[in-house]
Structure 1
Amino acid sequence: RQGVIRLREFNMAEVEIFFDPEENSTHPKFKEVENEKIRILPAENQEERKKGEEVEVTLREASERYFLNEFFSYYIWLTKRFLLEIGIPEKALRFRQQLDEERAHYSADTWDAEVKTERFGWVEVAGHAYRTDYDLKRHMEFSGEDLSVFVAFESPREVEKLKVYPRMERLRKKMKGQALGKLIEITKKENEKILRELNEKGELEFDGVRLTREDFEVKKEKERVTGKKVIPHVIEPSYGIDRPIYCILELNYLEEGERIYLRLPPKIAPIKCGVFPLVSKDGLPEVAKEVDSLLRKRGIYTYYDESGSIGRRYARMDEVGTPYCVTVDYQTLEDGTATLRYRDTKEQIRLRIEEIPSFILREMGVLC
């Protein structure tokens, strides 16, 4: 019964966004959107007594009360903007916080974008996981590679750092001279890595010899540094492809009396413009084909149709979501203008033929 949205194979689009959690917990563009409203369902409101009470807050309020930081909030907002642009109505969209038992072990917090459908109720269409530094630390642990990033300071700073030094008197009993020399060099180059491994495991293996914390001396030293090494945190927005398409089709399929139309946003409509001659004679088809060619040369995908009544041709375009139709009529032969019809309102305006491509591109938001 849920075969349309529960598939064995499905398409996904994911992005991994890395940032410095110490310095950049806010996004440089957050202030531009901090007053935008968003509808959320936090975990605390999913308890039985609250009965799934949703909250509408600004992004600023959400960042302070619900989301882990402003950086995370910004990408939640980007998802909202994207879903609205592809045809999800705002009243049918919310962001739900996953409960502890739902959330993946690597995520500090996860929020799902959900869309309310008539057939299936609330459907998850995107997820936003705050994966912290889990992925990079695991890669570092098993690959032995340093995946930290050097972040330069604006000016040098004096900092206290922990330094690890081999205890020579102990290690001479465990290691031969050549291996000991290698250890001294590696300790200088990979001081932080060795210290981290000793702190986490209490020991490390080098050249087949097990070394413990007692084999090293840790000292606090002041050092002038120009930057720092950071293991970035990761935010992972992941978007389903199939489910949003289903939601768009369901929520934008409209019936008004005998009229059926698909209210697709122009940007995602497969056919942008239908092109018709009013009748299939008197030179109108030839002019209509010229208009069709003019639109295609500007990258506007068209559908040329001269079969049946003009009303039926409009209806066919409405049913597949075509936002605009251009009709060439007898007035076109007189003054070089044609009729442009809007799908949603059925409003018609007249434009000069050479103006039509730029007009449609502006309506679609492609030209300013």
Structure 2
Amino acid sequence: MNAPAENMAATPRSGAITPPHRTHTFKMLLKREFWEHKGGFFWAPLVAGGISLLLTVMAIIVGEVVARRAMADGKIDIDGGDFTVNGLDLGQLTSQMDPSRMHELANAMDLSMLLASSWPFIVLAFVVFFYCLGALYDERKDRSVLFWKSLPLSDRDTVLSKAASATLLAPALAVGASLVTMFGFLLVISLVALVHNGNPIELVWGPGSPLLVSASLIAAIPVYALWAMPTVGWLLLCSAWSRSKPFLWALMIPLFAGIFVSWFDLMQAFNMESTWFWKNVVARVLFSVMPGTWVSASNGLDVSPDTVRELISLKTMYATLLTPELWIGVLAGAVMIFAAIRLRRWRDDG
């Protein structure tokens, strides 16, 4: 008689509520950050890419108009050859190019693709900077921190979700916008080639390396996440600590530290110049969220048509992971993020 009752007591009811898994909670926190900052994370890079394409189209139109006006006085002389833009046969011009010129064309196309895709990344730097700066300060300012602390959400998960949004979510969305911009740029250039009797495969898609550039941009996401840690950690710490004007605190403390070190030549005690402090401390704390700033630190490459292929290679990309500057910055950023977590536990300005 009591066996069924015992079995029912031992078996959990199907309608029993189980606490959500920690990964599910973290995923929901990431969604919260995305929806609250969708304008900066999603739309801003797309708008920047759209402006880039619009300016490209306008530049092409202006070039066509100028060239057509110049035709009234005769043909245009370029590299010793006379031709007009509206009568230019790009197919014939391509057939007369030697291998060295084709190599130059390939490098120029790769550089053009990088420049076209750079607009969303420029916006990304500003978005991440001001997002981290206000991530913990704004919720104290509008008192919403009291609501979020009333929920079963730990300070650790909350702060880490904001750090992950800045170092992974925002860059991933910016890469998507940059790829859309890059392929839109290639389509515009292909249309121009077709208008002038050119073959887009031979002039645009063949010489260039759109797949290699795309793979390089995607592969840069984890490198960016690690390299940006000092700035992300510093801004989150300032956001959690400052009671007002976090931008001034975040900016002035590193700058005054650099001025103080330079003024009193403190780096001479380590047989180093003050420029080392400005480059490895001040610049890393303030500007590491700018994509591509790790290039000069890892291999010293300058962006030019001759170095583009080396610049976008995966070997060059991940060579940054072997530099001590990156890992020291990761450690410093992790320490500052931990301090931001501790500060959020007790600071609510009231």
| TM-score under structure 1 length normalisation | 0.21
More strand by share: 1
Per chain length, whose mean CA-contact separation is higher, i.e. which structure has more relative contact order (CA < 8 Å, sep 6+)? 2
Larger radius of gyration: 1
| TM-score under structure 2 length normalisation | 0.22
More helix by share: 2
